[in-house]
Chain A
Amino acid sequence: MNPTVSQDLSFIGMLANASVLVQLVMALLLVLSFLSWWYIFLKMFSIKRAARQSDQFEKDFWSGSDLNELFQGAVNARHTAGSLERIFEAGFREFAKLKRQPGMDVQAVMDGTRRAMRATYQREVDQLESHLSFLATVGSVSPYIGLFGTVWGIMNSFRGLSNVVQATIAHVAPGIAEALIATAMGLFAAIPAVIAYNRFAYDINRLATRFDSFMEEFSNILQRQVNL
């Protein structure tokens, strides 16, 4: 039968037969995909951990234990402490320092404490949000990269068609199938990245809200202590 029909249409064969540029595009997409999956798992772990640690610390905090004890615990376990614990530590440290200084009124002490907590809060949220922009970029750009590879591959296969007297679909089909793999890979990289980005953004938002509420409540507790 037609020799082009019997071409190797297996996945590996198509990868091997693609033109150099398309292969480069595929390699790039593979790297992007790998990195995005890596970050997906990384973020998944770290967000889960942050949520777990926050749960734990809130439980400890609201169980009525002494603030000084909690502070000591946070300082001792600085490297394993969660975000919420670090915010608490920064706030309490600043509060203790300001309280010892003479001539500070309540407002000034509370402002300083709040600023210290806000700074740590921002650092923590920034830490949580790191690499999220990469996921967003992969999600929006890799389909275009894949599409570029596909367009290039299809262009090539049509150019090869010009040398053929009688053009049949069998002449272009393998080339187009090869080229379409690039789009498939782009989508494969993009879809999980977009899903993960949305998911993580939502999770981090919730955590941030939680930190925020904690800061407010903790400020209230400290304010009550200033007057003591």
Chain B
Amino acid sequence: MAAYAAPREPGRVPAAVLAGVVHILFFIFLTFSVSWKTRAPETMVVDLWSAPPSAPVAAPAATEPRPAPARPVEPEVKPQPRPETPKADIELKEKERLKKEEQKRQEAEKRRLDEKKAQEALRQQQLREAQEASRIAQEQERVAREMQARRAAEQSRVVEDYKARIKAKIQRFIVLPPDVPPAAQAEFDVVLLPSGDVLGARIKRSSNHKAYDDAVERAIYKAQPLPLPPDPAMFRDFRELNLRFRPAE
């Protein structure tokens, strides 16, 4: 059987079609599953260390002029159609008519004046109201400012107090090296964490005495956690501290 020809395997086309279907299914699956994952809600953790800025005082809303009331439609004074009069007593009638017209005109004039006056009064009132509102707003603002100032003063007092405490605590841990000149002063920039831990201490101005600088730096780290005010909103003032140390203190 030399002329043996291997028969072509059956079902080549259906196999190819099925293979294509498998890949298309897989592709669809991947596309959708991957896209779904990207739409997962992003979670975010926010630590609030200071109060958000208070809402702006509602003063400007009050000063806003109220929309003017719709102007009353002025009644149009229509000239009355001239009454037909017989020619005989035309003059008398004419006179009477003139008088009547005059009267009417006067009445209309008066009415217009009244209306104008009323409008003027309304406008005046609006103006007064607006002024009153802006005055109130200013007053509120002033009070708020005052309160803020008072609070700031209080705060700065607390800040000073705690700064002194921090410094005192660090001072306690300083192991004075021998022969430090009493005039030496080391200045440090200390970055704090809300927990009172020291994130970093960097020397800003050296005391020109290496041993003293090192001792202070060691003390800063040893003194943690540093005392901080209980109100976390005040931590803002403690994030970066500038502390000076002298051996005499």
- Give the chain A neighbours of B38 by CB distance below 8 A: 9-10
A46 touches B30 (CB 8 A): no
Q: Fill in one digit per residue for A81-120: 1 if any B CB lies within 8 Å of its CB, else 0.
A: 0000000001000000000000000000000000000011
- Give the chain B neighbours of A39 by CB distance below 8 A: 15
B1 touches A34 (CB 8 A): no
Out of B7, B15, B34, name the residue touching A42 (CB < 8 Å).
B15
- Give the chain B neighbours of A10 by CB distance below 8 A: 31, 34-35, 38
Out of A11, A14, A37, name the residue touching B18 (CB < 8 Å).
A37
A42 touches B23 (CB 8 A): no
Interface size class of B (residues with CB under 8 A): 20 to 34
- Give the chain B neighbours of A119 by CB distance below 8 A: 1
A144 CA to B72 CA, complexed, in Å? 89
A71 lies within 8 A of chain B by Cβ: no
Out of A12, A40, A46, A123, name the residue touching B4 (CB < 8 Å).
A123
A46 touches B19 (CB 8 A): no
Please give the distance in Å from B11's CB to the nearest CB on chain A.
4
A127 touches B6 (CB 8 A): yes
B3 lies within 8 A of chain A by Cβ: no
- Give the chain A neighbours of B37 by CB distance below 8 A: 9
B30 touches A11 (CB 8 A): yes
Please give the distance in Å from B21's CB to the nearest CB on chain A.
9
B11 touches A90 (CB 8 A): no
A119 CA to B12 CA, complexed, in Å? 26
B19 touches A45 (CB 8 A): no
B177 lies within 8 A of chain A by Cβ: no
Which residues of A, 113-152, contact B by the 8 Å Cβ criterion?
119-120, 123, 127, 130
- Known pairs A34-B20, A34-B23, A37-B18; A42 contacts B9 (CB<8 A): yes
B34 touches A30 (CB 8 A): no
A38 lies within 8 A of chain B by Cβ: yes
A218 lies within 8 A of chain B by Cβ: no
- Known pairs A14-B34, A45-B11; A90 contacts B26 (CB<8 A): no
Q: Fill in one digit per residue for B13-30: 1 if any A CB lies within 8 Å of its CB, else 0.
A: 011101110110010001
Chain A residues within CB distance 8 Å of chain B: 9-12, 14, 30, 33-34, 37-42, 44-46, 49, 79, 90, 119-120, 123, 127, 130, 184, 188
Listed by A's residue number, 24 A-B pairs whose Cβ atoms lie within 8 Å are A9-B38, A10-B31, A11-B30, A11-B34, A11-B35, A12-B31, A33-B23, A34-B19, A37-B22, A38-B15, A39-B15, A40-B15, A41-B19, A42-B9, A42-B12, A42-B15, A44-B15, A45-B9, A46-B10, A49-B10, A120-B1, A127-B7, A127-B9, A130-B9
